[in-house]
Structure 1
Amino acid sequence: MTVSKEKNKKTWMVDISNGLDNISGKRKRYRKKGFLSKQEAEKYEADFRVFELTKVRSNNKIDIAYLFSLMEQEDKISGKKVSYVITQRNNFYRYFEAYFSKADMKKLDYKDVINFREFLLTSPNRLGGKLSINTVNKQMILFKKILEVAVRRGIIASNPCKLVKKLPTPKKVMSYYTAEEFKEFLKLFTEEEYSYKLFFKLLFFTGMRLGEALALTWKDIDFIQGYIMVSKSIYYYKNEPYMGTPKNATSIRKIYIHQALIDELKEWREKQTFLLGKYEKDFEGIQIYQDSADSLTKYNIDNMKRNVDKRRGRGLKKIRIHDFRHSHASYLINNNIEPMKLSKRLGHASITTTLDTYSHLYPDTQRSVASIFDDFE
């Protein structure tokens, strides 16, 4: 018996046999003693077979947490970024853990996969609506990845997710502020809310992602050369912030800023030094928006954005925080910035991403292309 009670003791032991050694011909055995309960010993045996032997007995139930932990092990070995791991983990706990809490993943079939996708399609998002098709597709990609680990480990023979096609994603209408609309948005802040106003100015004038902007300190600003160095980003897991690298290698970049913004940042830095003199000594290392002992967080920004949105008049539309990045891109496109320059400024992985996202904002050049041949005859 693999799990048994130790002779003349109250503890349990695990004795696993794994066939014969190829060289010596002797039986391979793995033993461990001292478990306080049979349940603890059985769990160890199941874990050992999955993690060490990658061999599962037919009566061993495999839950999704095992498979997810295996997948995270592989991600760690391959050097996946902290932000990637955190996003993946958040999605697992939000969508997968409870749904599959009683499931035996060895018995999963195509119908189970489809049922899970239907569950996602009817699940609420954080704002009370339904999950977007794009979000559902992303979770199905994660599901496929989890089950691929099980296939590689010999836990299941095939991956039923491979039979499920990606749902078609409807084209979204991009929302952004024009220059005039952004000026109206800035008027909604009170004098006491200047640090938040400065934050949104940085988003609009640089096109930084939220996490990149939250990670900025004075060390990242070169006032002489006139640029911001983006080399890190803040991510959140279980409401706790973690510092990591930006989204991809090309996201590590210099963003040059205009003189008026440089002057405003210099003026704010002097005021910040006065405000925080009794709290801080290393002003180079503090977040540039701070006006108290605590730095701004994603949750502070979200709350302030909601409050400011309530002050909007009917003529000013509501946009998401990420849409300030789109507003930056739109403004530059309207001022004839080339796609390659825009791609580098935004930190896109490739110009393909830039064109896929913003090509509809560029003016139609087909008519001018045709006119090139007017003088041919």
Structure 2
Amino acid sequence: MPAQKRFPTDYPGVSFIEGKAVTTGKPERIYVIRYRKDGRLIEEKAGRQFQDAMTPAKAARIRSERIEGKALSNQERREAVQAAKEAEVNRWTIARLWEEYKAGKSNFKGLTTDENRFKNFVQPAFGSKEPGEIIPLDVDRLRVKLLKTHSAGTVKNVLELLRRVINFGVKRRLCPPTGFVIEMPKGMSMKTEDLDPEELAALLEAIEKDDHPHAGPMMKLALFNGMRKSEMLKLKWQDIDFNRGFINLPDAKSGQDEKIPLSVPAKGILEGLAHDGEYVFPGRSGARRVYIQRYVNRIRDRAGLPKGFRALHGLRHVYASMLASSGQVDMYTLQKLLTHKSPQMTQRYAHLRDDTLKRAAEVAGDIFSGLANGGNKGRKVVGIKNL
């Protein structure tokens, strides 16, 4: 400390210098303590009379604690803070690994989806931790928590992203591995939702009565064109080709750009929307909308649909189920319409097409049975046994 006159107090090793209060400029005592530690003479400020409510007795207690090693000296505290800062800079946390991982994936089609998964799920749970600090219980807790509100497929994608980021760091020797295997949910969700004609009519009526500018049209677009919520939220007018009747889906969930046909009802819905900016379903100030769930759930509830029915994704299932059960759309075409990455995801609807084919076969069987039983007298009938 600068050489200023020290005034002694009644406590050994405690003195004060005359200074001025920071806020008022009035005279204020600044208490100083002196003591030896590890053979070194240490002199440091204990605190200000008014600003720190410091007294000679309090300064003496601080001096005793530092002599006994119960508290760090000012210099030791500064060194500890600096060491902590340096250690933090050198820590490869999950958040830091993600930034490094992301930098090398700028052209990756699914990066936006991964960014949302990281921000919403991985960052809150593990962002501040290094891979070596994560234990199996941490992952189990996240898995159980997410499975309460999300599909097994979503949870699998979140955990897979966490595993990818950690593996990235391990391969580049930025961090040690976790020491355990991150287990995925046992199976993908194959939940297929459907509505009967009465439920569908009630839903369409509730949509017509709702006054939200985007909730109803988005539900109709999911029903009439099978679009995902994420695709609609980021849909831009430039992505719609009204003349050729197609919707372009840049960076689709499949990991590549997709194109789906625009059905006549869907075209009518889009043409009826206000064309005020870049996005078809804009949020505040014309920016990209990020939230719609509360409003579509309100319509679902007013229609009297089950609480477990997913207001947007469920309608995508209804769209797919209607096409599959029509018997007029094969599974490959349905896969393309739904922009499924693999045919396995589309196979959940195969039984609906099979049911339609079975009913058609039963109709043919009824016709032949009627013929065999003389149901069409006067006409020449070929015996079923000879077919």
Question: Judging changes above 3 Å, is the alpha-carbon distance between structure 1 residues 263 and 173 closer, same or farther for their aligned structure 2 residues?
Answer: closer
Structure 2 letter corresponding to 1:120: L
Task: Tell me how far apart the structure 2 counterparts of residues 87 and 76 of structure 1 sit (CA, whole Å).
Answer: 16
Q: Select which of 217, 220, 237 maps to 1:201.
A: 220
Q: Which residue of 2 aligns with 1:351?
A: 343
CA 1:376/1:86 → structure 2, altered by over 3 Å: closer, same or farther?
Answer: farther
1:96-135 aligned at under 5 Å gives the runs 96-97=126-127, 100=129, 105-106=131-132, 108=133, 113-123=135-145, 129=148, 133-135=152-154
CA separation in 1, counterparts of 2:84 and 2:325?
A: 65
Distance (Å, rounded) in 2 between the aligned partners of 1:291 and 1:137: 29
1:67·1:146 contact (CA, 8 Å) conserved in 2? Answer: yes
Amino acid at match of 1:322: H
Residue matched to 1:325 = 316
Structure of greater relative contact order (alpha carbons < 8 Å, 6+ residues apart): 1
Task: Determine whether 1:91 maps to 2:97.
Answer: no
Matched, 1:183 2:201: yes
Q: Is the Cα contact below 8 Å between 1:218 and 1:284 reproduced in 2? A: no
Structure 1 residue 285: Cα displacement: 4.7
Write the deviation string for residues 289-310 of structure 1: whole angstroms up to 9, x where unpaired. Answer: 57997578342x2121232233
- What is the rounded CA distance, in whole Å, between the counterparts of 1:147 and 1:191 in structure 2? 46
Which residue in the other structure is 2:163 paired with? Answer: 144
Preserved CA contact (<8 Å) 2:281 2:289: no
Query: Would the aligned equivalents of 1:177 and 1:327 in 2 still touch at CA under 8 Å?
Result: yes
The alpha-carbon distance between structure 1 residues 45 and 96, as it changes in their structure 2 partners (threshold 3 A), is: closer
Shift of 1:207: 0.6
Residues 37 and 205 of structure 1: CA distance in aligned 2, closer, same or farther (over 3 Å): farther
Inter-partner Cα distance in structure 2 for 1:67 and 1:316: 39
Preserved CA contact (<8 Å) 2:301 2:307:
no
Give, in whole Å, the separation in 2 of the partners of 1:308 and 1:140. 32
**Alpha-carbon offset, residue 331 of structure 1:** 0.8
* Matched AA of 1:90: N
Shift of 1:251: 4.8
What is the rounded CA distance, in whole Å, between the counterparts of 2:191 and 2:300 in structure 1?
20
Amino acid at match of 2:121: N
CA contact (8 A) 1:120 1:131 kept: no
Change (3 A) 1:165 1:93: closer
Give a deviation string over 1:47-82, Cα, whole Å, max 9, x none. Answer: 5xx6xxxxxxxxxx6544343333333434867622
Q: 1:335 aligns with which of 317, 326, 329?
A: 326
Counterpart position of 1:81: 111
In the alignment, the residues of structure 2 paired with residue 74 and residue 219 of structure 1 have an alpha-carbon distance, to the nearest angstrom, of 28
CA deviation profile, 1:217-246 (whole Å, cap 9, x unmatched): 444444443x232234xxxxxxxxxxxx32
Secondary structure of residue in 1 paired with 2:260: strand
2:95 alignment partner in structure 1? 65
Distance 1:291 1:89 in 2: 19
Aligned to 1:255: 261
- Asked if structure 2 preserves the Cα contact closer than 8 Å seen for 1:196 and 1:289, the reply is no
For 2:252, the equivalent position in structure 1 comes to: 246
Q: Which amino acid aligns with 1:230?
A: N
Counterpart of 2:43 in structure 1 is none
Alignment of 1:302-313 (within 5 A): 302-313=293-304
Q: Which residue of 2 aligns with 1:230?
A: 248
Q: Which runs of 5+ in 2 are unaligned?
A: 1-77, 366-383
1-structure distance, mates of 2:218, 2:109: 32
| TM-score normalized by the length of structure 2 | 0.58
Where 1:192 maps in the other structure, the secondary structure is: coil
Name the structure 1 match of 2:232. Answer: 213
> What CA deviation, in whole Å up to 9, does each residue of 1:180-200 have, x standing for no partner?
532320101326346432221
Deviations for 1:102-150, whole angstroms, at most 9, x for unmatched residues? xx644x5xxx53212332245367xxx4666555544432332233233
**Is the alpha carbon distance of 1:160 and 1:228 closer, same or farther for their aligned partners in structure 2, counting shifts above 3 Å?**
same
- The 8 Å contact of residues 218 and 287 in structure 1, kept in 2 or not, is answered as yes
Q: 1:213 to 1:87 in 2, by over 3 A?
A: same
Report the alpha carbon displacement of residue 325 of structure 1 after superposing the two structures with TM: 1.2
Aligned equivalent of 2:172: 153
Query: Are the equivalent residues in 1 in contact too, given 2:224–2:263 (CA < 8 A)?
Result: yes
1:297 correspondence with 2:289 = yes
* 1-structure distance, mates of 2:82, 2:159: 33
TM-score by length of 1: 0.60
Cα distance in 1 for residues equivalent to 2:143 and 2:165: 20
Question: Given residue 343 of structure 1, which amino acid in structure 2 is its aligned partner?
Answer: Q
The change in CA–CA distance for 1:180 and 1:230 in structure 2 (over 3 A counts) is farther
SS of the residue aligned with 1:149?
helix
- Do 1:122 and 1:130's aligned partners in 2 also have CA atoms closer than 8 Å? no
The Cα shift of 1:152 comes to: 1.6
Task: Report what 1:361 is aligned to.
Answer: 352
Q: Name the larger-Rg structure.
A: 2
What residue identity is the alignment partner of 2:115? V
